[in-house]
Amino acid sequence: MSEFGKSGIVKRNVERADAKAVERLGRSGVATVHEAQGRTGLMKPYMRPVWPGAAVSGTAVTVLAHPGDNWMLHVAAEMIKPGDVVVVAVTTDNDDGMFGDLLATSFRARGGLGLVIDAGARDARTLAEMKFPVWSKAIHAKGTVKATVGSVNVPIVCAGMLVHPGDAIVADDDGVVVVPRERALAVADAAEAREKNEEAKRARLAAGELGLDLYAMRDPLAKAGLKYID
């Protein structure tokens, strides 16, 4: 943990979450994965997909950037391995457009699957046409400088959530969730179990059965003091 928040470091070798588990997490989706790991791991809800329908799961290459400066995203490109998602934190709140279609082209050429950035992105239309998935705090054309070094592959806090390099990242229309590398397999299992369980419930609810009965809530509600009046 000693590299948390430090500028000036690029870590080359990163152990990544199991690729198969990451793929399975992606199939389960953000809401299910979040529940399956005990309602943890979600980034703040201001993180939204740049284009609707974007969805990705991958392993994190982390970036710590400075406000108005996207230098480290170029450094990160070299660290990308196939299956990675780049996750960018900034040392202070910033909405500048640190990422656009050129970097997307570069990341994809290196095997990068997507981007999660606690700042702005631009070239929104081209990113949609390329189907390169991006979650950001803002869409903003504001250009950036390349003047101050940050870090790549150090632990970061992105949109309120701790991310270590190599963690599993799942993102879709519901937001972004982080699964610690070493828990990826267990959470994938739990998520699939949850999905199976939900399928049965969905059928019963669709048939008109009430959650009150399905989840046996009437008794606890009465004990908690709920009164029905006419």
Of residues 32-71, which lie at the interface with a copy of itself (CB under 8 A)?
34-35, 38-42, 44-45, 48, 53, 66-69, 71
Q: Report 4-23 residues binding a copy of itself (CB under 8 A).
A: 4-13
44: left (phi over 0), alpha (psi -120 to 50) or beta: beta
- Give kind and range of the element (H or E) at residue 209: none
Q: Report 84-143 residues binding a copy of itself (CB under 8 A).
A: 91-97, 100-103, 105-106, 108-110, 120, 122-125, 128, 138-143
Q: Count of residues for the chain?
A: 230
Of 30, 55, 3, 45, nearest in space to 164 by CA: 3
Residue tagged 């592959």 (tokens):
153
Q: Report 179-218 residues binding a copy of itself (CB under 8 A).
A: 180, 182, 198, 201-202, 205-208, 210-212, 215, 217
Region of 3-11, 17-25, 184-192 interacting with a copy of itself (CB under 8 A):
3-11
Radius of gyration of the chain from its Cα atoms, rounded to whole angstroms: 20
CB 156 within 8 A of CB 63: yes
Q: Is 227 in the site for a copy of itself (CB under 8 A)?
A: yes
Q: Report 144-183 residues binding a copy of itself (CB under 8 A).
A: 145-149, 155, 157, 160-162, 164, 172-175, 177, 180, 182
